[in-house]
Amino acid sequence: GAVVSQHPSWVICKSGTSVKIECRSLDFQATTMFWYRQFPKQSLMLMATSNEGSKATYEQGVEKDKFLINHASLTLSTLTVTSAHPEDSSFYICSARKAGLSVYFGPGTRLTVL
């Protein structure tokens, strides 16, 4: 199977700082990666779709200036939460699409903003 990693797995930061989360496809090239946010005991909410070499497509209601997404290579996408506030605390999950239908999920990153 294919492996997707996320780093860090858990991050705590102070309010007003920026945090970068990395999503890597370890053994395949991913032309498309997806970023989700998941609140406790809730479903996954898609934030944005990122394609390698082009701008990300954000879902309605997601602030593109606050959640910066960069998909610089076929194996790496990053999500930067800028000027983080306590309400940004959440579990962030990425997924990567292998050629064809298969989509593989990363293990998630827990963000806590103090």
| Cβ proximity to another protein, 17 vs 42, nearer residue | 42
Is residue 73 within 8 A of residue 52, CB to CB? The reply is: yes
**How far from 12 is each of 47, 71, 113, CA to CA, in Å?**
21, 24, 6
- Residues 6 or more apart whose CB falls under 8 angstroms from that of 107 comprise 4, 5, 6, 9
DSSP state of 71: E
Q: d(Cα 45, Cα 99) in Å, to the nearest integer?
A: 23
Determine, following the binding rule CB under 8 A, whether residue 62 of this chain makes contact with another protein.
no
Our finding on whether 32 is near another protein (CB under 8 A) is yes
CB of 83 to another protein, least distance (A): 26
Is 42 a binding residue for another protein by CB under 8 A? The answer is: yes
Binding of another protein by 103 (CB under 8 A): yes
> Could you tell me which stretch among 18-26, 42-50, 68-76, 82-90 binds another protein (CB under 8 A)?
42-50
The footprint of another protein on residues 2-21 (CB under 8 A) is none
